[in-house]
């Protein structure tokens, strides 16, 4: 049954009635990003315990604190330049930015003086929420609706998995059509084409705008070609059976095909400097960078919450293995010291 936002359902149905079946990418674009009714663009998306799903960021401030240390190491690698920019895309309510800025201000004052934080946010309602959340740091921040040239680091957590995809496998594409009133999948033969075009174009955009620096992307995905590509639909911490349930009120994601992202980045001239799971990435940061005070606090017996946070982020059966971290560079000396986050990265799978 089609359920969800009635206006959005009407718009999608009218398009199919007029033009015939549409790609799943178009359907997903409407469901998540239709300017008025999309799940994200309307501001309906809620993350965390009372929302639809958890992310690293909603677990607590620790991931921002650890990444702050990693960004500082990148800043050092770029010669401690002034006007170093942290660009975040997919910032939701600005929580990660707040956690990073609070941590840098408290623990890394020299870096704090040198940095700017830029949020790329196309949706006005989310931008308003971010401005509210980040009011104490307004002099450090700027907003853009799309990527602009920058030097520094581009960061994203669960951005790539939210980009529209086509459902293509073995020469067949699943399109979205109608059976009476109901949305249904209709299979059509298709010539070889990329299923994740939006994510690949995003890599092109980063390549065009990063003048010098790093890209750190955290997401959940796969490296093997044989992985079955199915979309996941989530609302109120439940997995729904179909993307045609709760249209515009539910999150839709697809695991990231890391190999195609890496191939596109390399073809564009970006250099792969690391790929590992979140467990190894965060353990590398904790072991290498001067953040003992943070982790000591997490492990001390009077800080149960922080300890649980650390465990959730690191444990292989929680988020530690489900998420992977990709590191890319542009115009950075290949002899530069490897980032702490990738110190324990098993790299062999990607040299092929
Ligand atoms: C799964 S949420 C992740 C939110 C947040 N990073 C976190 O980890 O809690 C994906 C976010 O990416 C945003 N997004 C999708 N495409 C975007 C784009 N082209 N530019 C900026 N944000 C985008 C969505 O609006 C949404 O806020």
Chain segment 239-298, per-residue pLDDT in tens: 999 999 999 999 999 999 999 999 999 999 999 999 999 999 999 999 987 566 666 565
Is the C-beta atom of 48 inside 6 A of ligand 1?
A: no
- Asked whether the beta carbons of 320 and 278 are under 8 A apart, the reply is yes
Measured CA to CA, the distance from residue 262 to residue 276 in angstroms comes to: 13
Q: What integer pLDDT is reported at residue 309 of this predicted model?
A: 92
Evaluate: CB of 53 within 6 angstroms of ligand 1: no
Report the percentage of the chain scoring pLDDT > 70: 94
Residue 174 has pLDDT above 80, yes or no: yes
The finding on whether 51 has its CB within 6 A of some atom of ligand 1 is no
349 confidence band (pLDDT: 50, 70, 90): low
pLDDT score recorded for residue 228: 74
Does residue 301 register a pLDDT over 60?
A: no
pLDDT at 7 over 60: yes
C-alpha dihedral (232, 87, 120, 100), degrees to nearest 10: 70
Compare 349 and 289 and report the one with higher pLDDT. 289
Q: How confident is the model at residue 54 (pLDDT cuts 50, 70, 90)?
A: very high
Helix H or strand E encompassing 88: strand 84-89
Q: How far is the CA of 142 from the centre of ligand 1 (A)?
A: 17
pLDDT value at residue 48 = 93
| 159 CB within 6 A, ligand 1 | yes
Q: What is the pLDDT of residue 295?
A: 60
CA of 91 to the centre of ligand 1 (A): 6
pTM over 0.85: yes
Distance CA 158, CA 163 (A): 10
Would the CB of 217 count as within 6 Å of ligand 1?
no
Q: Comparing C-alpha atoms, which of 318, 319, 336 is closest to residue 327?
A: 336
């Amino acid at each position: 049954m089609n359920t969800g936002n009635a206006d959005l359902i009407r718009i999608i149905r009218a398009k199919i009635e007029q033009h015939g079946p549409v790609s799943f990418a178009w359907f997903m674009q409407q469901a998540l990003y239709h300017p008025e009714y999309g799940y994200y663009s309307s501001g309906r998306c809620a993350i965390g315990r009372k929302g639809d799903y958890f992310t690293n960021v909603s677990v607590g401030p620790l991931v921002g604190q650890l990444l702050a240390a990693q960004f500082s190491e990148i800043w050092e690698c770029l010669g401690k330049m002034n006007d170093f920019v942290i660009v975040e895309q997919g910032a939701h309510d600005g929580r990660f930015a707040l956690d990073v800025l609070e941590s840098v201000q408290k623990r890394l004052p020299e870096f704090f003086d040198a940095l700017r934080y830029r949020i790329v946010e196309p949706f006005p309602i989310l931008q308003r929420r971010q401005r509210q959340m980040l009011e104490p740091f307004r002099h450090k921040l700027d907003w853009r609706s799309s990527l602009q040239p920058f030097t520094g680091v581009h960061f994203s957590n669960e951005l790539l998995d939210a980009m529209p995809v086509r459902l293509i496998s073995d020469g067949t594409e699943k399109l979205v059509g109608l059976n009476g009133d109901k949305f249904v999948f209709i299979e059509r033969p298709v010539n070889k084409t990329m299923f994740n075009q939006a994510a690949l174009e995003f890599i092109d955009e980063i390549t065009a705008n990063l003048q010098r620096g790093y890209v750190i992307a955290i997401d959940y995905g796969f490296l093997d070609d044989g992985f079955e590509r199915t979309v996941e639909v989530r609302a109120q911490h439940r997995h729904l059976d179909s993307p045609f349930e709760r249209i515009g009120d539910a999150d839709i994601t697809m695991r990231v095909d890391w190999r195609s992202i890496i191939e596109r980045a390399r073809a564009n001239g970006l250099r792969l400097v690391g790929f590992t799971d979140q467990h190894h990435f965060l353990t590398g940061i904790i072991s290498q960078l001067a953040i003992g005070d943070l982790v000591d606090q997490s492990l001390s017996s009077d800080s149960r919450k922080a300890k649980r946070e650390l465990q959730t982020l690191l444990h292989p059966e929680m988020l530690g293995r489900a998420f992977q971290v990709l590191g890319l560079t542009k115009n950075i000396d290949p002899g530069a010291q490897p980032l702490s986050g990738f110190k324990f990265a098993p790299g062999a799978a990607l040299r092929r």
